[in-house]
Structure formats: structure tokens, C-alpha cells
Structure 1
Amino acid sequence: MWDNFDSDPVFPPEQVLENRGRVAIFIDGSNLFYAALQLGVEIDYTKLLYRLTAGAKLLRAFFYTGVDRTNEKQQGFLLWMRRNGYRVIAKDLVQLPDGSKKANLDVEIAVDLMALVDYYDTAVLVSGDGDLAYAVDAVSYRGARIEVVSLRSMTSDSLINVADRYIDLDQIREDIQKTRKSNLTYDAFSPYHLIENRDPEE
């Protein structure tokens, strides 16, 4: 009876929780970037938004990322994100002693989770960072439902333990990766800013 209690509490991606209400999405850009590298896929951010919203009413989708102001390609990507349904929260990258660059946005994510808790019913957190577990737990005590989406090998157990639902990115990779031709496009007049392209002959 108790044999399965040692296994990871992973809910199947097809499981849709009822009464998700208003959904707010919080994406740790760096965490998602490295997860995609491990999976060997390139994220289609239009499809990602469509998958995470799953037909619910989207309050807002936040994308948190470190930024190099001199990187024109990155600036172009962030401009595209802003015009395609995302609110971008950016912080300048800081060079570390080993020569690498990093921007920690845990505080910004935690503050926004708490500040908006009265306006959403479900928070979708795309991150595996255990430093966010305390904020997630605090939000759940305020009555919000928490869904954590991340790669299992990069996800802290402490974060999974305080979530109402956990989805392994590997289980939904087919739904969110770039393909030669995506069947979703941005539509400013759609309530979710997403429409499905249909064959003209249908």
C-alpha cells in the first residue's frame, strides 16, 4: 500500500485541474533556458503560453531574465516577448569573479507572487529553484493554487513539496518545442492573444 510513497509526486501533463480560475504565469528565464539545453530543444514561447494557460483566463505572464544591454539579438528577442503576451522583467547581468555573468531574479519573482495573490486563483511557476519554496508556500496559505513546471533533474524537492501540481518539462516537450511550422500565431484581438491556424480547406 505504501510502496509508491517514495516515488516523485509527478502529475501527468494531461491532468487538468478544475476551477483554475484566473491564471498568472511566472517564468524564470534562466532556469527554463538551461532546462531546454538539457532537453536539447528550442522553446516556442507562443506554444508555451498556450500550453500553460490551457484555456483558462490569463491574468498576466511574467518572464524574468538577466539582460546584456549590448546584445542586440537578445534585445530583439525580449521585444518580441513583450509584443507577444509576456511582461518582461529584466535585470542587468553581473560579472562574477570566475568570468561568468549572472542575474538573480528570485526576489522579483517572490515579490510578484505575493503582490498579485489577490488577483489570481492559480499561479504557474516555471522554475525549479528551491529558494522560491517559502514564497510559494506563503502564497498557498493565501488560498492560491500553485503549479510548478520544470525539469525534474533541476527541481528542488522543497519546491515540489509545496506545490499543488508538478509538471516535468520533459513530459510536455512536444507541446512547447519549436517545429518547422507552428500552428499557433499571435492575435491581439484574442482574449489569450493566441489563435490556432486552420487549413483553408477545412
Structure 2
Amino acid sequence: MTTMLSNLEADSIFTPEQVLENRGRVAIFIDGSNLFYAALQLGIEIDYTKLLCRLTGGSRLLRAFFYTGVDRTNEKQQGFLLWMRRNGYRVIAKDLVQLPDGSKKANLDVEIAVDMMALVDSYDTAVLVSGDGDLAYAVNSVSYRGVRVEVVSLRSMTSDSLINVSDRYIDLEMVKEDIQKTPRQSYPYRPLTGVGFLEQPDMNGHLELPEP
């Protein structure tokens, strides 16, 4: 049996790269909080334009969802989310809830799972940016509907149960060079009037001038 499989692989007209490129319509689901803490662990700042391009990989993008907890009084965060909405992302925001220990959290696992299932007939490949094992059941469910699922996350923050039900796992450590912001030189001050939303803010909403 092993010999037969080896012969089939040797005779295949498709290279592994060509197989991976045949992704059809792609839908992206990003757990914002999980990605933020993964970036902290990696010591990088995410360039969300680069991230969208890397995750889409030249395939036809159906939609890119970004799920995050929000503080409605945080103007800088609101600015960041506005930039995201105007630059290719569909933002799903949920108010932060204060926990007994004083910390604030917003769990969006249900929203991610519901959207993955609701759109299952509209995409061929799901790219899930999260390491949360609570999403393993949703991933398994869409897989049984014929969808290919790629999980992208930091390995140290990823549940084995999620990796086990995915079709492909990508460690953020391996692609961090492709998605991080590059250092920029300092330029003299110039007004932002008329520049629009070409600049990308950081997670706190700070805008950066585009490179000339």
C-alpha cells in the first residue's frame, strides 16, 4: 500500500505548491485579540495591508473578517478600526466586559463560529487566524461541508485540537517577515490633509506617513 501511494505521488502532475494554490474562493476570519498577543510574543507590529495580502495569497477573496473587543470611549482604537474598515476588512466589534479581577475581555468565539458556518456555501477555503481550541468544533464542521481550512497562529499559543482538524497549519513565526511593519525613516512634519486613509495606524490608532 505504501509503495502504491509513493508511486501515485511520484506520478502526480501537480507539485505541492500548485495544490496549495488551488484554494478557490477564500474567506478570512481573524481573532484580533489572539493575533495581538501573538504579535507581542513575536516582538513585531503587524502591517495589516501586508497581512491581508499574505493570507489571501493571490486567491479570490470573498471577505476578511476582523473580530475584536472594543472600548467605545477609546478614540485611538476607534481610529484604528475605521482604518481597517476602509482598507479591506469587515470589522465585528463587541464591547469589552469587565471581569471580577478588574481585567476586561470580549469573547468572540461564537461570532467567528457562526460566520464560518453561515457563509460555508460561499467560500472554498477558510483562513482562521487564531489558536483558540474552542473553535475546533466549528472548523471540523465546515470541513465536513467540503471547505479547506488553514489555521494561522503562533504555535506556543495554539491548541493541538485546532491543528488536528485543520487541513494546513501555518506558524506565525515562519511568516513574520512577510507581515510585520518595516522600520521607516523620520521625515519632516507635513500636514495630513488630503492624504486620506493610505496611512496605516497601529493598534492604538497612531497614523504613520506613507513612504514617498
Alignment TM-score, normalising by the size of structure 2: 0.78
> What's the % identity of the aligned pairs?
86
User: How far, CA to CA, are the matches of 2:175 and 2:68 in structure 1?
Assistant: 22
1:52 aligns with 2:55: yes
User: How far, CA to CA, are the matches of 1:180 and 1:34 in structure 2?
Assistant: 21
1:112-169 deviation digits (Å, cap 9, x = unpaired) = 0000000000000000000000000000000000000000000000000000000000
Which amino acid in the other structure matches residue 136 of structure 1?
V
User: How far, CA to CA, are the matches of 2:34 and 2:21 in structure 1?
Assistant: 28
Q: Structure 1 residue 68: deviation in Å?
A: 0.1
Stretches of structure 2 that go unaligned for 5 or more consecutive residues are 1-15, 185-196, 199-212
Which amino acid in the other structure matches residue 19 of structure 1?
N
- The residue that corresponds to 2:37 in the other structure is 34
- The residue that corresponds to 2:101 in the other structure is 98
1:19 aligns with 2:22: yes
Q: Structure 1 residue 19: deviation in Å?
A: 1.5
1:19-39 deviation digits (Å, cap 9, x = unpaired) = 100000000000000000000
Q: Which of residues 139, 143, 151 in structure 2 aligns to 1:148?
A: 151
- The residue that corresponds to 2:68 in the other structure is 65
User: How far, CA to CA, are the matches of 1:115 and 1:136 in structure 2?
Assistant: 13
User: How far, CA to CA, are the matches of 2:151 and 2:165 in structure 1?
Assistant: 9
Q: Which of residues 51, 68, 82 in structure 1 aligns to 2:85?
A: 82
1:40-99 deviation digits (Å, cap 9, x = unpaired) = 000000000000000000000000000000001100000000000000000000000110
Q: Which of residues 81, 96, 114 in structure 1 aligns to 2:117?
A: 114
Q: Which of residues 127, 130, 149 in structure 1 aligns to 2:130?
A: 127
Stretches of structure 1 that go unaligned for 5 or more consecutive residues are 1-13, 187-202
Q: Structure 1 residue 18: deviation in Å?
A: 3.1
User: How far, CA to CA, are the matches of 1:57 and 1:94 in structure 2?
Assistant: 36
Which amino acid in the other structure matches residue 161 of structure 1?
N
Q: How many equivalent pairs are there?
A: 171
- The residue that corresponds to 2:6 in the other structure is none
- The residue that corresponds to 1:11 in the other structure is none
User: How far, CA to CA, are the matches of 1:36 and 1:164 in structure 2?
Assistant: 23
User: How far, CA to CA, are the matches of 1:46 and 1:68 in structure 2?
Assistant: 23
Structure 1 stretches of 4+ with a deviation exceeding 6 A read none
Largest Rg, 1 or 2: 2
Query: Cα–Cα, structure 1 residues 114 and 137, in superposed 2: closer, same or farther, change >3 Å?
Result: same
User: How far, CA to CA, are the matches of 1:81 and 1:180 in structure 2?
Assistant: 21
Alignment TM-score, normalising by the size of structure 1: 0.82
Q: How well do the aligned residues superpose, as a CA RMSD in angstroms?
A: 1.7
Which amino acid in the other structure matches residue 160 of structure 2?
D
- The residue that corresponds to 1:165 in the other structure is 168
